[in-house]
Structures are given as C-alpha cells and as structure tokens.
Amino acid sequence: MKYAAIHANREKFNVSYMCKYFGVSRSGYYAWRGRWGQPDKDDVLGNLIAQCQEKTRQTYGYRRVKIWLLRENGLVINKKAVLRLMRKYNLLAVIRRARPLYQRQQRIMVYEDKLLRNFHADRPNQKWVTDISYLHTKQGVLYLSMIKDLYDNFIVAYDTGTIQDNSLVYRTIRKAKKEVADGLILHSDQGFQYTSPGYLNLTREYGILPSMSRAATPLDNAPAENFFGIFKTECYRRQKVETFEQAKQLVHDYVVFYNYERIQLKSMLTPFEKRRQLT
C-alpha cells in the first residue's frame, strides 16, 4: 500500500522524500514497481487457504491448514510457507488465542494435594474448599467465588465480580479471615488466581496452608462443585436473571438460606446448627 501511494503521487512529490516519509527504501520501491502489474504468485495458494478458512469458520491454525491442503488438494507445502501466506492475506485463526502474558507468568505456584479426596473434618475451620463459578445474566457473566467449610458445609465467605481476576479471590479470603484457625487447609483447583504469587502471600499472611487439586481432576474439589450445583438447581436456574444486581441478591439470599435454614440430610441439622455445637 505504501509503494502504491508513492507510485500514485510520483509526479507531485519527490520519490526519495516519499520513501523517507513512509519509512521504506528507494530500492524496495523500484523493485515493487518492476513487479507492478504482474500476477501475484501467491494468489492461487492464498485462494485455497481462504476456502479452507471459510469452510472451517476461520478456526484452523497453520498446521491444520497444511493438513487440509494435503487432504483436499494433494498439495505438499512447508508449514512456514502456509503461515506466511495466512499472515499476508489476513487469514489467521480468530479463536484460541493465548492467554494474556500476565496470567501465564503467574501460573507458577502449584501446591501438593493435602486432602487427597479426604473431605471429612473433625472440627470447624480445619478444611476449607474454594472455587469460582459462572452466573449468566442478560447483562453478561457474574463470577461467584466462595469458601466452604468441610466440617458442616457452612459457606464461610463469598464474593462476586464481573471480572474473573485475582482480586475476586483475595476479597473472598479476606472476608473469611476472622474464621481462620491454626492448621487450616484451604483447597482449590489450579486456576490462575490460586497459583499467583499474591495468593501465596495472602495465605502466608493469614497462616493458611494451601492445597491444590491435581491438574484436570475436578473430583479432587468435588465439595465446592457440589455447592454450585445445588445453588443453581435449587435457585439460580429457576429464575430469569436480567441484571447483575438481581444475581447478587439471589446469591445473598440463597447463602443465608443454605447456611441457616437448609437442613443437611446427613446430620439432620443446618450448617449453622452443626457449627454452633462446637463453637
């Protein structure tokens, strides 16, 4: 485009001046002019790649495009050449972008699983589990972070936010600070919020022992998932949630109901009643 602009205005302005203005070399411009009007040698392959991306909704990266060209057209082409053409014609995949660098840099603190699916606790504030869930509204997604005590299933703390970031988790832990006891284990999955240095610093400050599920093993944190499942079945999915404020109110009302009114079948008590027995 720069060379074309220079060529179109070559009779009005000095070519050397325009090359300097556009940040290109004179030799590059004259080489382009020598090729100007000649057919683009990449045009055929570019059209084939465009067909591939149209059929696949522009979801293929250059490796899959290379395979597609071989399967559909019998073409053997170097993957670097495919990548060059995809960049040239703006045909790069539009999904599955890498996570932001700050998240990938923070995924460095991974802890041993101190629970090993032993979800029994002998006293309050001995073992906690935590996680984040998605609450869909017409305004967008509201994220719910909560901490649950494995002794009585009491929801020790929760917080919500429209951004799933580290501060959501930190706020939840700070709300639970007054309940922290010696030797408390806080178990989570390997989400980036729980592997961040800030999470490590906060747990150290409060004397909490971090524990973490194994990668891609959701059953290691089943009690946390269980609460979200109950909440959505008994409350959230029975509503047409329009706004964030409506979602926040539903969360608040249900946590109060769950902690102080909902009877647990195993103990025949509410979480608060069981908790009060020992505290």
Token pair for 213? 């599920």
In angstroms, the Cα distances linking 129 to 25, 31, 173, 203, 204 are: 62, 66, 11, 13, 17
pLDDT along the chain (279 residues), means of 10: 82 88 82 70 85 82 90 90 87 62 55 96 97 96 98 98 95 96 96 93 96 92 96 92 97 95 90 89
pLDDT at 95: 58
In contact, 124 and 149? CB cutoff 8 Å: yes
pLDDT at 9: 86
Residue with tokens 């703006």: 90
Provide the residue ranges of all domains of the chain, joining segments of one domain with +: 1-38, 42-97, 104-278
Task: Count the neighbouring beta carbons within 10 Å of the beta carbon of residue 132.
Answer: 22
Residue with tokens 């979602």: 247
Residue with tokens 């505290």: 279
Burial (0-12, 13-18, 19+ Cβ within 10 Å), 57: exposed
pLDDT at 252: 97
Residue with tokens 């936010």: 161
Please give the torsion angle defined by the CA atoms of residues 53, 57, 59 and 60, in that order, rounded to the nearest 10 degrees. -30
* Long-range contacts of the stretch 61-69 (C-beta < 8 A, 24+): 61/92, 61/93, 61/96, 62/86, 69/45
pLDDT at 31: 76
Domain 104-278 fold is: Nucleotidyltransferase; domain 5 (3.30.420)
pLDDT at 102: 46
pLDDT at 279: 63
User: What is the Rg, in whole angstroms, of the alpha carbon atoms belonging to the chain?
Assistant: 29
